[in-house]
Amino acid sequence: MTSPHLETTSLHRALAGASRVRIMELLRAGQSLDAHELGKGVGLHPNTVRSHLDLLIEAGLVEGLPAPSTGPGRPRVVYRLAEGRTFPAGDEPGYKLLAQILASYLAGTARDPSAAAEEAGNAWGHYLTKKAEPFARLTAAQATQRIQALFEELGFAPEVRAEGDRQRILLHRCPFRETAETTPEVVCAVHLGLLRGALDEIGAPLKATLLEPFVEPSLCVAHMQRAG
């Protein structure tokens, strides 16, 4: 039997990529689509789409089935959302309620909720990130790759945009979006602290300068630049 922790990790990993999130959005319309049709919808090669679908199927979010045969040859495989498994466990009402309770409590009791939330996030950023090897110096690109992997694991569907000495991480999916909408001073500060703690833990030559919440309805943007 799969443990709840492993199941939740698998679900978050499946939804951590921006492309997989877009595939899920296409399938949410209720249609059964093949890899070529999905590829056109998300702008990816069908083979790349299939690799994303494999992860979604493994997590129990999508299922593939043969389409009705229209002639000789191997039947076409189409994909659809698996019944009753559209969201990860972390999005279930109990988890949402717990996040709202904790965020509301901190917002109402801390003298400076944003500072307290960022401090908590910073500590978790250190805890969740594997320290760099002794004497190893990461480049900005390597550090960004490590940070992207962390935020993928946490379910943010991150996408990196490099612009000279500055880096942006587009966060396409906030696992705590509803709570962030009501208490952004807490939730967004936690995420900024998480980013800063992770950068510090790996000795990155970068510093996080800003996290812009809700640049678009489903997009937040973290900004980093070279330190020093």
DSSP 61: S
Per-domain residue ranges of the chain = 4-89, 114-226
Kindly give the confidence (pLDDT) of every residue in the chain, 228 residues in length, as a single tens digit, with 9 standing for 90 and above: 444 444 555 555 666 566 777 788 788 766 789 999 999 988 889 999 999 999 889 888 899 998 877 666 677 899 998 876 544 444 455 566 667 777 888 888 889 999 999 999 999 898 888 777 776 788 999 999 999 999 988 889 999 998 888 999 999 988 888 889 889 999 999 999 999 999 999 999 999 999 999 998 889 999 999 987
Residue 97, pLDDT score:
67
Residue 18, pLDDT score:
65
Q: What contacts 218, CB < 8 A, 6 or more positions away?
A: 172, 173, 174, 177
Domain spanning 4-89, CATH class: mainly alpha
Do 148 and 204 form a contact (C-beta atoms < 8 A)?
A: no
DSSP string, 42-104: HT--HHHHHHHHHHHHHTTSEEEEEPPP-SSSSPPEEEEEPTT-SS-GGGSHHHHHHHHHHHH
Report the distance separating Cα 92 and Cα 104, nearest Å: 18
Residue 90, pLDDT score:
45
Report the distance separating Cα 74 and Cα 72, nearest Å: 7
Residue 15, pLDDT score:
60
Residue 82, pLDDT score:
85
CATH fold group of domain 114-226: Muramoyl-pentapeptide Carboxypeptidase; domain 2 (3.30.1380)
Residue 10, pLDDT score:
59
Do 117 and 187 form a contact (C-beta atoms < 8 A)?
A: yes
* Whole-structure pTM value: 0.63
